[in-house]
Amino acid sequence: MFGWAGRRLRVDLNSGLTSIETIAEHTLANYLGGRGLNSKVILDEVSPGTDPLGPDNVLAIGIGPFNGTIVPTSGKLTISAKSPLTGIFGDSNTGGYFGSELKFAGFDQIVITGRSSTPAYLYIKDDHVQVRDASHLWGKNTWETERMIKEELGDERVEVLSIGQAGENLVRFAGVVNNMGRIAARAGMGAVMGSKKLKAIAVRGTGSVEVAYPDKFAEACYKAHDKIKSASFYKPLHTSGTLFLLRHTNEVGRLNTRNSQQGWFEGIETLNAELFHAQYKIKNRGCASCPILCGHAYHIKKDGRRLVGNAAEYENIAALGAMCGNADLKTALLASTLCDQYGLDTISTGSVIAFAMELWQRGMLPGEDIKGLDLSWGHQDTIISLVNQIALREGFGDILAEGVQKVAEKYPGSEQFAMVIKGMPTNVGDYRSTKGGALAQAVSTRGADHLRGSPVLEYLGITPEESEAIFGNIIGKDKARSVVDYRNYYGKGSLVAWSENFMAVVDSAEFCKAASYWASLDFLGPSDVQAMLNSLTGFNFSESDLFKIGERIYNIEKIFNVREGMRRKDDTLPVRWFTEKQPAGPSKGELIEAGKFEEMLDEYYEFRGWDKEGIPTKAKLQELGLQDYAPDQN
Ligand code: SF4
């Protein structure tokens, strides 16, 4: 088989037995790999009502046809399961080198079921698979775990995915870490691993990837490589990583500040990319086959010692900075490093601390719960203490480890300040001003999400004519001209659905969103993916075939959520964005008008071929070959 390995590894932790099975070619053609392949397994194998932290939840690790090749930015992989944070479909994506190594070992996917009675880790060396004792690793952080496994196996080239203490302690927003800083952070995949007593997965492969048309493939990849290097965002991403967005989003009034009380942070002069460069940066770091190298290693002093961190990112620093009212970059970097070591999602961690700080501001937290903590905005020691307490489930951290939604349920009246959608905290964007971005957060299949379909062109400064040229035939000329203005509601439903379908393709072929249309329209688009995919696999996908695959994947995930009871009422936004106008900054006065939001939702459902409740119709499912999954309601 070209591109894919064509094999799935199954691991039953109840018995410790493993098996290898063939993945049918038509399954790969319909779902591509990575996210798509995982989503199908999760829908097929996780029954409605399954406890996400019980042994019946299924954990899938999937890679795509691009992993292990020279496709630029193809170091991605997806981890999927029912989410313990949201109770609906969950997945999360990480970069690094694990995906390539898994392909070289001869697998497209690992599916893990059951629960080990004692701590275990999985070691894959080509076809040799072992479930090994991990008692000596339990209690170690992710960096220690990675180092100890490499030493134990005597192989520095082994790639390791692991959980830290947060996953072991079933913190509902624990992630899975590799390369000491790359993390599949969102949706609590680390807690699912912890619930299975699975500390880590180590992989080493010695195979290679077969290419159908090597010359054509090399030509398509070099073209994509050149396109990336000449794109407008290449230089800022290479130089500053995503940290350059701190100033950018603040300038347009979208930087979530003090739990989204406003979208503009007055402390930006001490929390920005330039300061990071001047005082903390060591060097660039990247994932497999990536010319961008957006990651940055840095050093900070902690307890008189030099601590080196590996992933200074916009979301991390904004979540543990502006969101918590903290203008001290060093504190945000230290908190972010601790999250990477413990295996915590920085967005969810910053969100739950910020939520607690707002409840404290409003006098809504009982003294016996917070146990003497000073929760005033930006309190540096408190932020660090709470990261430790959350990961270790100590003190007030044990309450916060349940996530914003459950904390809100514990303190009646606080729900109106909870920045969550379907149980998932919103990211560090304040979407009152960007209407399409707000809709994308509301309808995402894994709860609040800026990565599923958020359309960047509404604030990228492209002209209505340029938009019409690209999207006129897809969503209609009027809508295409309207969507470039972030204040407009018209056309956003169609654009978000189109973006979601393309992002499902990106996530399933497994390359980086940062190098795709998601970030900028001069990065890789559908025709680039088509050229690389066809010459790699020998398939003859048209662009519309690719969008059909993306749509199929999106519907698979939606069906999972419908089965769990999700309906139109759940495709909504935090109360604050409907009721409180932006009080300050460049977006002052902006909010989401509820009636117009419902119109966007109608347009979105119509573009998708779903009914008014947001349930895929039988006709749509038939068109996608998913008729066997039709929910009873239709
Ligand atoms: S752009 Fe950054 S996250 Fe994406 S593949 Fe490259 S280094 Fe990894």
Is pLDDT at 163 greater than 80 in this prediction? yes
Alpha-carbon span 257 to 428, nearest angstrom: 8
Residues 6+ positions from 303 with CB-CB distance below 8 Å: none
Mean of all residue pLDDT scores within the chain = 96
Is pLDDT at 489 greater than 70 in this prediction? yes
| pLDDT given at position 454 | 80
Chain segment 404-435, per-residue pLDDT in tens: 999 999 999 999 999 999 999 999 999 998 99
pLDDT band per the 50, 70, 90 thresholds, residue 633: low
Alpha-carbon torsion, ordered 254, 333, 357, 427, to 10 deg: 40
Residues 6+ positions from 17 with CB-CB distance below 8 Å: 11
First to last CA, the chain: 39
Which residue's CA lies nearest to atom 5 of ligand 1? 73
Test site for ligand 1: of 63, 238, 293, most ligand atoms within 8 A of the Cβ: 293
Alpha-carbon span 439 to 427, nearest angstrom: 14
**In this structure, how many other beta carbons lie within 10 angstroms of the beta carbon of residue 536?**
27
CA of 76 to the centre of ligand 1 (A): 8
Q: Which two tokens stand for residue 600?
A: 């966007």
In CATH terms, the superfamily for domain 7-204 is Aldehyde ferredoxin oxidoreductase, N-terminal domain (3.60.9.10)
Q: 105 with 8: CB under 8 angstroms? A: no
Q: What is the average per-residue pLDDT within 120-146?
A: 98
Q: Parse the chain into domains and list their residue ranges.
A: 7-204, 235-410, 435-510+542-629
Alpha-carbon span 165 to 526, nearest angstrom: 40
Alpha-carbon span 396 to 369, nearest angstrom: 6
Q: What is the average per-residue pLDDT within 218-225?
A: 98
Q: Report DSSP letters for 37-48, one per residue.
A: HHHHHHHHHS-T
Is pLDDT at 461 greater than 80 in this prediction? no
Q: Report DSSP letters for 295-361, one per residue.
A: EEEEEEEETTEEEEE----HHHHHHTTGGGT---HHHHHHHHHHHHHHTB-HHHHHHHHHHHHHHHH
Closest Cα to residue 438, out of 257, 599, 246? Answer: 599
Q: What is the average per-residue pLDDT within 597-618?
A: 97
| pLDDT given at position 252 | 87
Chain segment 237-264, per-residue pLDDT in tens: 999 889 999 999 999 899 999 999 999 9
CA of 520 to the centre of ligand 1 (A): 14
Alpha-carbon span 629 to 113, nearest angstrom: 22
Which residue's CA lies nearest to atom 2 of ligand 1? 294
Task: Indicate if ligand 1 lies below 6 Å from the C-beta of 512.
Answer: yes
Chain segment 271-285, per-residue pLDDT in tens: 999 999 999 999 999
In CATH terms, the fold of domain 235-410 is 1.10.569
Question: Which letter does DSSP use for residue 24 in this model?
Answer: P
Decide: helix, strand or coil at residue 246: helix
CA of 75 to the centre of ligand 1 (A): 8
| pLDDT given at position 304 | 84
Closest Cα to residue 503, out of 446, 463, 570? Answer: 446
Is pLDDT at 23 greater than 90 in this prediction? yes
Ligand 1 atom having least distance to the Cα of 294: 2
Q: What is the average per-residue pLDDT within 478-485?
A: 93
| pLDDT given at position 634 | 46
Task: Indicate if ligand 1 lies below 6 Å from the C-beta of 350.
Answer: no
Ligand 1 atom having least distance to the Cα of 76: 5
Q: What is the average per-residue pLDDT within 483-509?
A: 95
pLDDT band per the 50, 70, 90 thresholds, residue 494: very high
Phi and psi at 434, nearest 5°, equal -105, 105
pLDDT band per the 50, 70, 90 thresholds, residue 459: confident
Residues 6+ positions from 13 with CB-CB distance below 8 Å: 55, 112, 113, 114, 115, 116, 120, 131, 196, 197, 198
| pLDDT given at position 457 | 78
Distances (CA, A) of 450 to 400, 479, 524, 548: 23, 22, 18, 22
Task: Indicate if ligand 1 lies below 6 Å from the C-beta of 73.
Answer: yes
Chain segment 556-590, per-residue pLDDT in tens: 999 999 999 999 999 999 999 999 999 988 899 99
Q: What is the average per-residue pLDDT within 132-155?
A: 98
Q: 77 with 87: CB under 8 angstroms? A: no
Lowest mean pLDDT segment, chosen from 134-138, 143-147, 449-453, 575-579: 449-453
Q: Which secondary-structure segment (H or E) carries 185?
A: none
Q: Specify which residues 11 forms β-bridges with.
A: 18, 112
CA of 289 to the centre of ligand 1 (A): 9
Phi and psi at 448, nearest 5°, equal -45, 130
Chain segment 168-216, per-residue pLDDT in tens: 999 999 999 999 989 999 999 999 999 999 999 999 999 999 999 999 9
Alpha-carbon span 230 to 417, nearest angstrom: 42
- May I ask the CATH class of domain 435-510+542-629? mainly alpha
Q: Which two tokens stand for residue 614?
A: 């947001």
